[in-house]
A and B are shown apart, each in its own frame.
Chain A
Amino acid sequence: MSRMETLTTPLLQVEHLTKRYGTRIGCADVSFDLWPGEVLGIVGESGSGKSTLLSCLAGHLTPDQGRVIFDTRDGPRDVLAMGEPERRRLSRSDWAFVHQNPRDGLRMGVTAGGNVGERLMAVGARHYGDIRAKATDWLGRVEIAAERIDDRPSAFSGGMQQRLQIARNLVTGPRLVFMDEPTGGLDVSVQARLLDLLRGLVREMGLSAIIVTHDLAVVRLLADRLMVMKGGHVVESGLTDQVLDDPQHAYTQLLVSSVLQV
């Protein structure tokens, strides 16, 4: 829906974001805009700074320099200048974070329904029947059978846990989703199902997403735009198929030519 609107304000504007670990560079001088409905892929090898960047954007790490301006429901605001309670509220209502390891994003001792319902309660839902109905609906959307609603995630397969994490994150209707290697560690067949699910959800909900991955095939299918990182710097960015089919930077050329098939 909102993918079709020609909005004039970016959802997220990142300016000169820098994070150092002592003298080492985490990420340096990263700037980009993310528009509503857009999926941005960030690729690079281990240690390239892509996860550091994602953590800074999502407020899990405090950057040393730069601005992260999010178009809140009350207008654009610098997230880094916000107080902790306000940022927390934003991260519950407007943002979602899908971890590579579902154990980092789920409460393993709480039932599947509880994992989804908890997020709804965090944004103010109180009616038990409504919460349970909505949780059931979301489990269905991520292809988890309704009869598993009272099971704990520890009894789920890895792919199911990852789908549950997605349901838990999207149930509150966020506008921006951060994903850190969402298909990493899953079987290829499970990956495909997850990719299809994510694509459908992005389209139906008009979500914007930032996906960090080292898998070029994943970004080819999911991302509209791509940023390539090396040594903490963005070395190339552009339309996904342009960066993959006609890479300009030496590192991107090496990356693309090193993959068996993308």
Chain B
Amino acid sequence: MIRISGVSKNFTLHNQGGTVIPVMAGAALEVAPGECVGLIGASGAGKSTLMRMVWGNYLAASGSIMVGGLDVAKAEPRQIIALRRVTLGYVSQFLRVVPRVPTLDVVAEPLLQLGVPQDQARDRAAGLLARLNIPQRLWSLSPTTFSGGEQQRVNIARGFAHTYPALLLDEPTASLDAANREVVLSLILEAKTRGAAILGIFHDEGARARVCDRLVDVTGFTPKVAA
């Protein structure tokens, strides 16, 4: 479902004398349907960078990133937009929403984008919020005022609202209490059971052991620094 090969990435800092920083070279990995692959490596090794290249908000300098038949590294913006709507989901570490939109609608939004009727989309959203222990009295409020952990759970609910065939998870269990961590892990396991291909970053080793089938150390993709 996800196949990365020969991917490299540089950052060019035009406003700092055009410094070019190579951050990744020769990245390669595969995620099959129903499989969860965990990215590991020290902080700054490029886990999030690789994940963002798969999502398409970072440009790859070379290589190919196939997701459900589309090469994200070369695709047109509108193809990536369609991919994100239908095929590829992403639970980032930060919730970014239009202020004042009720939590229930924030979670239902990905389904509305797909043309799911509003009541059906809201039912699904309500089910997820209840499961993630967001009290019902908060559903009509905007999540911008919520605590960090609550915002993260809203973000997770939103990411799992549609049954994407491929999912990217960036630290989905960070800053969650034990009970909510369990809920998130079971959501991930259910997604695997229905055949989703998952690429994740988990600092929580227990969580990693529970859901990941394989680990890929991104340190192996660090460019060799020419002396």
A224 at the binding interface (Cβ < 8 Å) = yes
Q: In the assembled complex, which residues on chain B have CB atoms less than 8 Å from the CB atom of A220?
A: 96
Q: In the assembled complex, which residues on chain B have CB atoms less than 8 Å from the CB atom of A244?
A: 57
B206 at the binding interface (Cβ < 8 Å) = no
| Contact indicator B14/A225 (Cβ below 8 Å) | no
Q: In the assembled complex, which residues on chain A have CB atoms less than 8 Å from the CB atom of B58?
A: 242, 245-246
B82 at the binding interface (Cβ < 8 Å) = yes
Min CB distance B156 to A, Å, is: 19
Q: In the assembled complex, which residues on chain B have CB atoms less than 8 Å from the CB atom of A246?
A: 11, 52, 57-59
Q: Cα distance A238–B80 when bound, in Å? A: 11
| Contact indicator B14/A196 (Cβ below 8 Å) | no
B115 at the binding interface (Cβ < 8 Å) = yes
With contacts defined as CB atoms under 8 Å apart, how many contacts are there between chain A and chain B in the complex? 68
With A224-B81, A238-B77, A257-B15 known as contacts, the answer to whether A189 contacts B100 (CB < 8 A) is yes
Instruction: Please report the total number of A residues contacting B with Cβ < 8 Å.
Output: 30
B20 at the binding interface (Cβ < 8 Å) = no
With A245-B52, A246-B58, A250-B14 known as contacts, the answer to whether A239 contacts B98 (CB < 8 A) is no
Most buried by A among B11, B59, B112: B59
* A-contact 0/1 string along B59-100, CB 8 Å cutoff: 100000000000000000110111001000000000011111
Most buried by A among B11, B81, B82: B81
B130 at the binding interface (Cβ < 8 Å) = no
| Contact indicator A199/B56 (Cβ below 8 Å) | no
| Contact partner, B115, options A1, A245, A248, A250, Cβ 8 Å | A1
A4 at the binding interface (Cβ < 8 Å) = yes
Most buried by A among B77, B82, B100, B114: B77
Q: In the assembled complex, which residues on chain A have CB atoms less than 8 Å from the CB atom of B101?
A: 196
B186 at the binding interface (Cβ < 8 Å) = no
| Contact indicator B57/A245 (Cβ below 8 Å) | yes
A192 at the binding interface (Cβ < 8 Å) = yes
Least CB separation from B9: chain A residue: A246
A241 at the binding interface (Cβ < 8 Å) = yes
| Contact partner, A192, options B14, B80, B100, Cβ 8 Å | B100
B133 at the binding interface (Cβ < 8 Å) = no
| Contact indicator B15/A253 (Cβ below 8 Å) | yes
Least CB separation from B99: chain A residue: A192
| Contact indicator A35/B114 (Cβ below 8 Å) | no
| Contact indicator A239/B57 (Cβ below 8 Å) | yes
B12 at the binding interface (Cβ < 8 Å) = yes
Q: Cα distance A242–B76 when bound, in Å? A: 12
| Contact indicator A193/B113 (Cβ below 8 Å) | no
With A246-B59, A248-B12, A250-B15 known as contacts, the answer to whether A199 contacts B114 (CB < 8 A) is no
| Contact indicator B14/A253 (Cβ below 8 Å) | yes
Most buried by B among A1, A6, A220, A246: A246
Least CB separation from B80: chain A residue: A239
Q: Cα distance A253–B17 when bound, in Å? A: 13
B13 at the binding interface (Cβ < 8 Å) = yes
Q: In the assembled complex, which residues on chain B have CB atoms less than 8 Å from the CB atom of A254?
A: 14-15
Min CB distance B10 to A, Å, is: 10
A203 at the binding interface (Cβ < 8 Å) = yes
| Contact indicator B82/A249 (Cβ below 8 Å) | no
* B-contact 0/1 string along A92-127, CB 8 Å cutoff: 000000000000000000000000000000000000
Q: Quick one: which of A23-73 are within 8 Å of B by CB?
A: 35, 38
Q: Quick one: which of A166-210 are within 8 Å of B by CB?
A: 189, 192-193, 195-196, 199, 203
A3 at the binding interface (Cβ < 8 Å) = yes
Q: Cα distance A257–B14 when bound, in Å? A: 12
Most buried by B among A225, A239, A241, A245: A239
With A224-B77, A248-B12, A253-B14 known as contacts, the answer to whether A242 contacts B57 (CB < 8 A) is yes
Most buried by B among A192, A193, A203, A257: A192
Least CB separation from A193: chain B residue: B100
Please list the residues of chain B having a beta carbon within 8 angstroms of any beta carbon in chain A: 11-15, 52, 56-59, 77-78, 80-82, 85, 96-101, 112-115
A-B pairs, top 10 by smallest CB distance, nearest first, are A250-B14, A192-B99, A241-B57, A239-B77, A245-B57, A246-B58, A192-B100, A196-B98, A242-B57, A225-B77
The 25 sampled A-B contact pairs (Cβ below 8 Å) are A3-B115, A35-B78, A38-B78, A189-B99, A189-B100, A192-B98, A192-B99, A192-B100, A195-B98, A196-B98, A196-B101, A220-B96, A221-B98, A225-B81, A238-B59, A238-B77, A239-B56, A239-B81, A241-B57, A242-B57, A245-B52, A245-B57, A246-B11, A246-B52, A246-B59
